[in-house]
Amino acid sequence: MMLEVQDLKKYFPVRGGVMMRVIGHVKAVDGVSISIEKGEVFGLVGESGSGKTTLGRTVLKLTEPTGGRIIFDGRDITDLSGKELIPLRREMQIVFQDPYKALHPRKRVKDIIGEPLIIHEGASDTEVRRRVAEMLKLVGLNVEHMDRYPHEFSGGQRQRIVIARALILRPKFMVLDEPTSALDVSVQAKILNLLSDLKEQFDLTFLLISHNLAVVQHMSNRIGVMYLGKLMEAAPSQELFENPLHPYTKALISAIPIPDPKLAKKKRKMTLRGEIPSPLHPPSGCRFHTRCPFAKEICEREEPPLREVEPGHWVACHFWDELREVGVLNA
Amino acid sequence: MNIGEKIKGLVDYFRSEDFKITLILVKKSPLTVLGLALTIFLVLVAIFAPLIAPYDPIKQDLKNRLQPPSWEHPFGTDQLGRDIFSRVVWGSRISLFIALIVVAISFTVGTTIGIISGYFGGKVDEVLMRITDMFMAFPRLVLALAVAAALGPGLFNTMLAIAFVSWVYYARLARASTLQIREEVYIEAARAIGASDKRILFLHVLPMVIAPVVVQATLDMGGTILTAAGLGFLGLGVQPPTPEWGVMVSEGRRFITEQWWVSTFPGFAILLATLGFNLLGDGINDILNVRARR
Helix (H) or strand (E) holding B142: helix B140-151
CB contact under 8 A, A104 and B204: yes
Of the partner residues A107, A120, A162, the one whose CB lies closest to the CB of residue B194: A120
Count of CB atoms situated within 10 Å of the CB of A320: 18
Count of CB atoms situated within 10 Å of the CB of A221: 15
Q: How far apart are CA A137 and CA A146, in angstroms?
A: 11
Measured in whole angstroms, how far is the alpha carbon of residue A54 from the centre of its chain?
Answer: 9
Q: A98-120: per-residue pLDDT in tens?
A: 999 999 988 999 999 999 999 99
Candidates A98, A104, A149: best to mutate against B (most CBs of B within 10 A) is A104
What is the spatial order of strands in the sheet that A92-95 belongs to? A92-95, A173-177, A205-210, A41-45, A222-227, A230-236, A313-315, A307-310
3-state secondary structure of A168: coil
Classify burial at A218, counting beta carbons within 10 Å of its beta carbon; exposed 0-12, middle 13-18, buried 19 or more. middle
Rounded average pLDDT over A15-34:
85
Of the partner residues A87, A98, A119, the one whose CB lies closest to the CB of residue B193: A119
Task: Identify which of A67, A110, A116 has the alpha carbon closest to the alpha carbon of residue A89.
Answer: A116
Spell out a b/e string for A4-33, using b for 16 or more CB atoms within 10 Å of the CB, else e.
bbbebbbbeeeeeeeeeeeeebbbbbbebb
First-to-last alpha carbon distance for chain A, in angstroms, is 35
Phi/psi for A143 (5° steps) reads -65, -30
In A, minimum Cα distance to B183 occurs at A101
A270-284, A295-309, B11-25 — most confident range: A295-309
- Shortest distance, CA A287 to any CA of chain B (angstroms): 30
Here the contacts of B200-206 (C-beta below 8 Å, separation 24 or greater) are: B200/B119, B201/B115, B201/B116, B201/B119, B204/A104, B205/B115, B205/B119, B205/B178, B205/B181, B206/B111, B206/B115
First-to-last alpha carbon distance for chain B, in angstroms, is 30
- Shortest distance, CA B113 to any CA of chain A (angstroms): 21
> Alpha carbon of A213 to those of A104, A217, A249: distances in Å?
30, 6, 10
pLDDT value of position A329: 46
Tell me the pairing of strands A173-177 and A205-210: parallel
In A, minimum Cα distance to B210 occurs at A106
Chain B residue numbers touching A83 (CB-CB < 8 A): 196
Spell out a b/e string for B116-144, using b for 16 or more CB atoms within 10 Å of the CB, else e.
bbbbeeeeebeebbeebeebbeeebbebb
pLDDT value of position B20: 75
- State yes or no: cis peptide before B241, omega within 30 of 0: yes
Of the partner residues B186, B192, B208, the one whose CB lies closest to the CB of residue A60: B192
Nearest 5 degrees, angle CA B183-CA B114-CA B132? Answer: 130
- Shortest distance, CA B193 to any CA of chain A (angstroms): 6
CB contact under 8 A, A101 and B190: no
pLDDT value of position A315: 92
Tell me the pairing of strands A313-315 and A307-310: antiparallel
Rounded average pLDDT over A65-75:
91
Ranges of beta strands (E only) in chain A are 3-16, 21-36, 41-45, 67-72, 75-76, 92-95, 173-177, 205-210, 222-227, 230-236, 307-310, 313-315
Q: Which residues of A touch B (CB under 8 A)?
A: 57, 60, 62, 83, 85-90, 93-94, 96, 98, 101-107, 115-116, 119-120, 125, 162, 165-166, 169
Of the partner residues A105, A107, A116, the one whose CB lies closest to the CB of residue B193: A116
> Alpha carbon of B272 to those of B66, B88, B90: distances in Å?
24, 12, 15
pLDDT value of position B29: 81
pLDDT value of position A194: 93
Chain B residue numbers touching A57 (CB-CB < 8 A): 188
The mean predicted confidence, pLDDT, of chain A is 88
Task: Identify which of A239, A117, A97 has the alpha carbon closest to the alpha carbon of residue A163.
Answer: A97
In the A/B pair of chains, how many CB contacts fall below 8 A? 60
Do A235 and A314 touch, CB atoms closer than 8 A?
yes
Radius of gyration of chain A from Cα atoms? 21
Cβ partners under 8 Å of residue A238, min gap 6: none
Q: What is the pLDDT along chain B (294 residues), one digit of tens a residue?
A: 567 777 777 777 777 776 777 777 777 788 888 999 999 999 999 899 888 878 888 878 788 788 788 888 888 888 888 888 989 999 899 889 999 999 999 999 999 999 999 999 889 999 999 999 999 998 888 888 899 999 988 888 889 999 999 999 999 999 999 999 999 999 999 999 999 999 999 999 998 898 888 888 988 888 898 988 888 888 888 888 888 898 888 888 888 888 888 889 999 999 999 999 999 988 888 877 765 554
pLDDT value of position B292: 56
Cβ partners under 8 Å of residue B57, min gap 6: B82, B83, B86, B87, B89, B90, B91, B243
Question: pTM of the full predicted structure?
Answer: 0.83
Count of CB atoms situated within 10 Å of the CB of A192: 18
Q: How far apart are CA A145 and CA A38, in angstroms?
A: 33
Classify burial at A289, counting beta carbons within 10 Å of its beta carbon; exposed 0-12, middle 13-18, buried 19 or more. buried
- The overall longest dimension of chain B from CA atoms, in Å, is 76
> Alpha carbon of B99 to those of B86, B114, B192, B282: distances in Å?
20, 21, 41, 17
In A, minimum Cα distance to B185 occurs at A102
Task: Identify which of A176, A244, A243 has the alpha carbon closest to the alpha carbon of residue A211.
Answer: A176
Q: Which amino acid is at B234?
A: L
Numbers of helices and strands, H then E, in chain A: 10, 12
Chain B residue numbers touching A207 (CB-CB < 8 A): none
What is the spatial order of strands in the sheet that A21-36 belongs to? A21-36, A3-16, A67-72, A75-76
Count of positions (residues) in chain B: 294
Chain B residue numbers touching A119 (CB-CB < 8 A): 193-196, 199
Q: Is the dihedral of CA A235, A241, A246, A252 positive or negative?
A: positive
Tell me the pairing of strands A222-227 and A230-236: antiparallel
Candidates A106, A117, A174: best to mutate against B (most CBs of B within 10 A) is A106
CB contact under 8 A, A89 and B184: no
Q: Evaluate if residue A302 carries a pLDDT over 60.
A: yes
DSSP state of A275: P
Annotate B1-28 with DSSP letters as a single string.
Answer: --HHHHHHHHHHHHHSHHHHHHHHHHHH
A253-257, A288-292, B168-172 — most confident range: B168-172
pLDDT value of position A268: 63
Cβ partners under 8 Å of residue B97, min gap 6: B46
